[in-house]
Structure formats: C-alpha cells, structure tokens
Amino acid sequence: MKLTPEEERMLEGKNGKGCKLAMEILVEVGRAFGAERMVPVQSAHTVLSSYKGIMDAGIEALQRFVELGARASVPTTTDPAGMDLEQWKGFKVPQKYARKQFQIVKATRALGLIPCWTCTPYLCGLLPQKGDHLAWAESSAVIFANSIMGARTNRETAVIDISAGIAGRTPYYGLHLTENRWGNILIDVQMEHMGTDDYNILGYFMGKKAGTKTPVITGLQKADRFEDYKGMGAAAAASGGVALYHIVGVTPEARTVEEAFGKNRAEESFTFSTRERDLTKNEMCTARDGKINAVLVGCPHYTITEIKRAAQLLEGKKLRKDVQFWIYTYKNVESLAERLGYKKIIEKSGAAITSDTCMMISPTELWHFNTIMTDSGKFAYYAPSQVQSEVVFDSIENCVKAVVGKGK
Ligand code: F3S
C-alpha cells in the first residue's frame, strides 16, 4: 500500500503506540483487500459496544487500545450497549454480565468515543454528507449512510471500526470507489401504496434476492417518512448482505436508471408486487399460532416520530398482563419522549421504553419468550436464531392490536 508521510509516521509510532497498532491493523486489512492507499474518514461508528456481541475478546481489544494510550482522532460513536445502562436490573440481566458491560463503557470513555449507544448515529450527531468517506460498522447504519445520504463506507467489522476511528482513516477499497457503487440487479416495485410494513418487507425481499449485490429500485416514489428507509435498509442488510441500494429518482446517486447502473448492467431483474409482498411476509413469520408473549419494536432504534405513533396507539389502552411490550431507542430520544409526555402514556398502558440497547444484543433469550411480535424486518430475520423465539412480523398498528386487553 502506498502510505502518505503522515501515515508512515503513524506506523512508526510517532503518534503513540495506540495509533501505531491501529495503523498496523488497517494496513493488514488494506493489503488483504488489495487497497492501494488509505482514505481519511469523517467519522467512525463502532460495534465494540455490547458484551453479548463482543464477549471477553472484544473487551480485551478495547482495553489493549486503552493501555496503549489510544484516543479517537475523528468523531467515533458507539452502537447499542448489551443492556439498558440504567434500568438493566429490571431486564433480568445477570450481575456478571452487567460488570462486563460496564468494563466496555469504561474503555469507550477512555478512548474518547461518543457514547450514543445507538444504531442510528446519523440521528445522534454524525450527519454524513454526499461523498463523505466513513468507517462505520453496524449494517443498518451503513446501508442508510451509503444509500440515503450518498456517503461512502464499507461494512466495517469490530476492531477495524475502532482502528479507523483512532487513525482517522480506512483502506480505500470496496464502496469507497465509484465503480463499486453502481447497481447490478433491478427490482421493479409495482405497488399502488407502500405502508411502513411494506418497506420492511421490500427490504427483506431485496436482501434475499440481492445477497451482497447492489439493487437498483424502480417504481418507488419518495417515502413520506425517512424512517421507512431506516427499516427497509436494515432488513435488506440482514436477510442479505446489502450495503447500498439505489432508488431511481430518489436517492443521491440515482437521478436516472443510467446513473444508478453506471457502466454495469442488470444481471437479474425482479418484480415486487402484492404477490411478492404477501409471500415474503409469510416467510418472515415463523409462528403459525400460539400466544404472543412479547412485542419488541425499535430495530433500528425508534425515532421520536415512531415513539409518538406508538404512544397514540397505546393511549387509553391496557396491555394484557402476561405480555411484555418494549420500545427500543437511545437516551436522547427517551428524554424527548419524556418531555413530550409520550413516555407516560406508554408506561400507563403497561409498555416500556428501554434505552441504549436492543432486543438482539441484550440477553433477551433469558426471558424464554415462545413467540415475539415485531414491526422490524431485521429483527424478524434474526429472532429465531438470536433470541430463540418464534416470530410474527406486522405493522405497529397490528402489534398493538394483538396485545391490548379488554377494558381500560
Ligand atoms: Fe439496531 Fe439492534 Fe436492530 S443494533 S438495527 S436495534 S439489532
């Protein structure tokens, strides 16, 4: 790899031992992927944040950087933690697990990371612009930044993400290069109306068809709410490995079909109509009957608009006593929900807002839920393997309807 004089100095340890280690890791990764050089990044987002996700090996990696005196040199945010950092005792989190999680919190503080604890860093201070280079892990954030914002990031992995945050650069390969951002499969949407749940289903369908390819979507109008893209992208990144898609006439690198495909051609074409929507939704639901034990929503983390909608649906209702209803978000949004009175309404119904973590990277499996209902395409994909539960996917409206009891 060709390094700049500054990067050579980093590699020699002139910026400290922590930065030296980060550069060594990045150079190895760059060589493995055939990168010719590094590219400076505007920000990094790390998944070295949840004990369930990174276990002891991840803590050791973080602590190694701390011992070597490393500090983030560009804004570097944290993905959700492995438990609600304040209310963890109410969620059956074992003491030993909590101790480990707090070691992670301590290390991230020492490294100068921004403690957002969210998978939506673009709503928490990191607002990428078109053409910005980033080093983000967290597949749902990566696909949002690439597709909706036109920023450029690979799906970084743990350790590489923090190394990039420390060194302020990442190997220049993959989605940093224009020619790797052109589409190579076509998805033609033939739906008269798209509800929020339909966007999630389309994302799931897209991931299954595209794998790691880049879909170009035609026939889709601009969504009314950006949250629809948040859910759609997360589902596509989960059921497949999609890191970038284009919506012709909507997303920044797809003003026309020609621009979206660049010098590529569609290798395959698919139609998404009510037929595919219904078949995919059926595939997303593993539970055929049985009682819903929990409704878990907020994957990716709910925005204040989504919490408002949940509060409107729950207002004046009471949940069945034998059901848990948890809404996942991060602390800033929870505070807003409190100020706006939504939190009180939600809690009065028997539901709860839980912050800085999520249903997948906290030990939800300890609740032994048989059947979980969710409005998230991503979580529907992972629930059977990650939480050992059957799953029902549906809109937030139907999630609420399914678990409210009789009377107020
Ligand atoms: Fe976010 Fe957790 Fe879903 S990190 S995208 S809420 S699995």
Residue 163 pLDDT more than 70? yes
Segment 236-287, tens digit of pLDDT: 999 999 999 999 999 999 999 999 999 999 999 999 999 999 999 999 999 9
**392, 210, 186, 237: CA torsion to nearest 10:** 60
d(CA 81, CA 192): 39
Among candidate residues 30, 133, 117, the one with its CA nearest the CA of residue 354: 117
140 lines ligand 1 (CB under 6 A): yes
> Is residue 289 very low, low, confident or very high in pLDDT (cuts 50, 70, 90)?
confident
Report CA(120)–ligand 1 centroid distance (Å).
Answer: 9
330 lines ligand 1 (CB under 6 A): no
Segment 106-151, tens digit of pLDDT: 999 999 999 999 999 999 988 999 999 999 999 999 999 999 999 9
* For ligand 1, atom 3: residue with the closest CA: 299
* For ligand 1, atom 1: residue with the closest CA: 300
Which pLDDT score is estimated for 386? Answer: 93
> Which tokens go with 366?
């300890």
Which pLDDT score is estimated for 227? Answer: 97
DSSP state for residue 408 in the 8-state scheme: -
- Order of strands, edge to edge, in the sheet holding 215-218? 246-247, 215-218, 185-189, 268-272
- Proportion of the chain above pLDDT 90, given as a percent: 98
Contact 404, 319 (CB under 8 A): yes
**Coil, strand or helix: which one is 206?**
helix
**46, 48, 50, 52: CA torsion to nearest 10:** 130
Residue with tokens 């987002």: 45
Residue 1 pLDDT more than 90? yes
Which pLDDT score is estimated for 406? Answer: 63
Strand 134-136 with 43-46, pairing: parallel
354 lines ligand 1 (CB under 6 A): no
Among candidate residues 372, 351, 393, the one with its CA nearest the CA of residue 205: 393
Which pLDDT score is estimated for 282? Answer: 97
Which pLDDT score is estimated for 290? Answer: 76
238 lines ligand 1 (CB under 6 A): no
137 lines ligand 1 (CB under 6 A): no
* For ligand 1, atom 7: residue with the closest CA: 360
Output helix, strand, coil percentages for the chain, rounded to the nearest 5: 45, 15, 40
